[in-house]
A and B are shown apart, each in its own frame.
Chain A
């Protein structure tokens, strides 16, 4: 087909359309709504042969998605932020059913305070659920990873649902050139869903979600999920190789950019990683050996691929667009575990930035390289840093000044009290 300008949301919808999703349970939430609207428009126009049902909540939506997938149809759904949290009970439950389908999550930071702009705390809340996670950095990846996700999810060796994550605003509402593959080529890559052992009808009832008592059976079922998730590492490589042969776009669980001879590397996920690429290019032009390592896959955690990419670097700046309260950045923690005890592992410098859509400026990438280089020189990991500037605090102080005046007017003690 053609290369056209589409938003990340439209790219997700194209993924569902080209995958010939049969069933789309839906509930709107900013910034995801355009995905559902686009699919709805195509269904109405007769361009997509699927059934869309609007549910009363994300909780019901996920229940419907899991139940439909368990009957053996191909399911696509999408949510964001508070919606994902509201569905959380069913996120864990349908993964336990081993129901394969794709959920697009349009990242948006969590309340409170409430916002519309992105960070990754929403999708990371589903980190331990049994859903696999693929994180897109461009609109093209949103489409391609959606197609890959169906193959991966439906594979007999995996059979787990998958979240494809795209950042709100920075991808969801941003148009970029996207190569839309030929439907026939996608059909050849991704044939109709073969439900295998799945599927039920009135004459052949199945009970899913059985109750178990005593930890033995429970441990068995849960650990089987874990093993299936670990299998997904190898299956992803096979599926991505097939995809690359057919479409010429090659995906690995971890993207390495100008990293082979790099002394210092950035590690980060999502769309802001393309900003890091720009910083890498500029630093390279200035003669500095810097690269970028970006996990496309967060679950299963591609620990070996990360070790392969990072051992030999001297310092690493890990940029977490999330914050685990009382711990710090999630990616930093997981990467530390992956590198623990490995000879020649680089020193990690931890940064938390881009919370609630806060921009990460080019000058900040340059400064993070300085910090990582100094850490490498001294061998001492620095104190984790929030990317936050004096002028941002000044703005905050202005707001607090208003709050203080309000409190004073209300007869409450002021800030100095």
Chain B
């Protein structure tokens, strides 16, 4: 059975990637199971999706804990433990990262036993990564090596058809480029064992002890927990106010920001709380003087770290 996991952020098309690959497998005569898994269904939040494909009915369910291939569409997820990108990577698992950096950098950084490949992402594309889903699916299909381009093309068309012809064409163009780029690695991903576990494995069960309600009730003992959760980490684009153009209207952006992430300071200037701005770009759209610009979050972070250098 093939077991593949796609990691990305809500809005980057990981569910679409899993569906394109799933449909392509299905079109090639495989039994298939694919599913997205997300907590809070919000743009920018880490999500993953998975695909299982086998020559017989699939009874396994849920999260893939021993993947043959992990595809990461957004390299900012790698260091976030809760995103679980590295979970279960074994010596035969292939890791494919969409990134602006060289494979050697990732090999050095992650020190994994299995192969690491990169899907190059140009800096200007980093913003929304709108087409990364199709590229990831195509790269995955080529690495797996049992799906033909014709089946992948048909699957891409089928899954993206509701979005219109232009989107399909652009995705196919990108998909084809990824497909061609990974030709040298065709078949690198090896099908895992039919069963994920051996019959002699045993779980480390314990008796759950009784604990008083003071301990065992699901309470949080601090106020303002929503300020503690840095939802700004989900942002893929950053709004930047050009204070020369801002008229200090004092209310439009700050009132309409759905996350109350814009405060007005004592001078009447709007200040964006980047720890909680989720990058929805509503402020950009509503500012009457067009004073708010957008820059890709990756670029903004890079610029910040450059500035921070001594």
Contacts and interface: CB of A to CB of B under 8 A. Distances in A.
A and B assemble together: yes
A412 B33 CA distance: 49
A8 B22 CA distance: 16
Contacts of B229: none
Contacts of A174: 33-35, 61
Interface of A is mostly: mixed
A393 B208 contact: yes
Contact of B202 (A177, A288, A366, A400): A366
Interface in A104-131: 112-113, 116
A243 interface: no
Contacts of A5: 19, 22-23, 26, 32, 34
Interface stretch (A223-231, A277-285, A327-335): A277-285
A410 B206 contact: no
A363 B197 contact: yes
A7 B37 CA distance: 13
Interface string A351-394: 00000000101111011001000000000000001111111010
B202 A390 contact: no
A30 B58 CA distance: 26
B70 to A, nearest CB: 18
Contacts of B219: 403
B105 interface: no
A366 B199 contact: yes
Contacts of B196: 362
Contact of B197 (A30, A359, A361): A361
B204 to A, nearest CB: 4
A156 interface: no
A406 interface: yes
B63 interface: yes
Contacts of A363: 197, 201-203
B270 interface: no
Contacts of B59: 274-275, 277-278, 281
A389 B206 contact: yes
A385 B205 CA distance: 9
B218 to A, nearest CB: 4
B31 interface: yes
B205 A367 contact: yes
A169 B220 contact: no
A78 to B, nearest CB: 18
A363 B41 CA distance: 32
B221 interface: yes
B36 interface: yes
A357 B39 CA distance: 12
Contacts of B33: 174-176
A271 interface: yes
Interface in B29-79: 31-37, 39, 41, 58-63
B35 A169 contact: yes
A342 interface: no
A1 interface: no
Interface in B166-216: 195-197, 199-206, 208, 215
Contacts of B206: 388-390, 393
A409 interface: yes
A282 B63 CA distance: 20
Contacts of A281: 59, 195
Nearest to A413: B214
Contacts of B58: 176
Contacts, number: 111
A275 B36 CA distance: 19
B163 interface: no
Interface residues of A, number: 49
Contact of A410 (B36, B61, B221): B221
Contacts of B35: 7, 169-170, 173-175
B308 interface: no
Nearest to B202: A367
Nearest to B56: A281
A175 B34 contact: yes
Contact of A177 (B32, B60, B197): B32
Contact of A282 (B199, B202, B205): B199
A325 interface: no
A246 interface: no
B281 to A, nearest CB: 25
Contact of A175 (B19, B62, B63, B220): B19
Nearest to A361: B203
B303 interface: no
Contacts of A288: 199
Interface in A137-196: 169-170, 173-177
Contacts of A359: 62-63
A272 interface: yes
A275 B60 contact: yes
A280 B221 CA distance: 45
Contact of B221 (A170, A390, A407): A407
Contacts of A409: 222
Q: Which of A177, A363, A393, A412 has the most CB of B within 10 A?
A: A363
Given A363-B201, A363-B202, A406-B222, A30 B195 contact: no
A377 to B, nearest CB: 18
A212 interface: no
A415 interface: yes
A209 interface: no
A385 B221 CA distance: 31
User: Which 4 A-B pairs give the minimum distances between C-beta atoms?
Assistant: A362-B197, A363-B201, A406-B221, A174-B35
Given A177-B26, A288-B199, 11 more contacts: A5-B19, A173-B37, A175-B35, A362-B195, A362-B201, A363-B197, A366-B199, A389-B204, A403-B219, A403-B221, A406-B221
7 contacts: A5-B26, A112-B218, A176-B33, A176-B58, A286-B199, A370-B202, A393-B208
Interface of A: 5, 7, 30, 112-113, 116, 169-170, 173-177, 271-272, 274-275, 277-278, 281-283, 285-286, 288, 359, 361-364, 366-367, 370, 385-391, 393, 400, 403, 406-407, 409-410, 412, 415
